Amino acid sequence: MLRPKKIAYACAQKTAANDHHPSRHAGDGMKKKPRNNVPPPIIDPGEFERAKAWRFRRNLTMEDLSKAIGYSVSLISWMERGQSPPQKGTFAPRPLNPYAWMRYRLLCELVERRLRAPQMKSFEW
């Protein structure tokens, strides 16, 4: 049976043996994989108000929702305004990242499913 130190040593030897392969070095002509060039989803501007209205209909405070989804109260406030918090050293809010909005929407859908689990077919604000 190999001890942890011997396993680490054996792994280091295998790595060193494979380092001579030219395709393992990024600077030696190895090309990076192209990124998936899917455009980000477009957010309907009215969706932010509908998200806030959904929270009110469910009698959820920002604190309740933050505990349920793990976001801070201030981030939920920014999301419902359709903005991202400003970067350090600036005061201007940034446009909301569409992927961050999709994640927020999915988390709200999970909360909705917990509230109305059996009879829910699809999620709408």
Confidence at residue 115, expressed as pLDDT on a 0 to 100 scale? 81
Confidence at residue 2, expressed as pLDDT on a 0 to 100 scale? 46
Confidence at residue 59, expressed as pLDDT on a 0 to 100 scale? 92
Confidence at residue 121, expressed as pLDDT on a 0 to 100 scale? 66
Domains of the chain in sequence order: 47-115 (1.10.260)
Contact 52, 80 (CB under 8 A): yes
Angle, helices 73-81 vs 62-69, to 10°: value is 110
Confidence at residue 13, expressed as pLDDT on a 0 to 100 scale? 54
Residue-by-residue DSSP string for 85-122 = PPPTT--S-EEPPHHHHHHHHHHHHHHHHHHSTTT--S
Confidence at residue 60, expressed as pLDDT on a 0 to 100 scale? 92
Beta-carbon contacts of residue 65 (< 8 Å; ≥ 6 apart): 55, 71, 76, 108, 111
Confidence at residue 84, expressed as pLDDT on a 0 to 100 scale? 86
- The residue type of 101 is W
The Cβ of residue 65 has, within 10 Å, a number of other Cβ atoms equal to 23
Mean pLDDT by 10 residues, the chain (125 residues): 51 52 52 67 86 92 92 92 85 86 91 76 65
Beta-carbon contacts of residue 49 (< 8 Å; ≥ 6 apart): 80
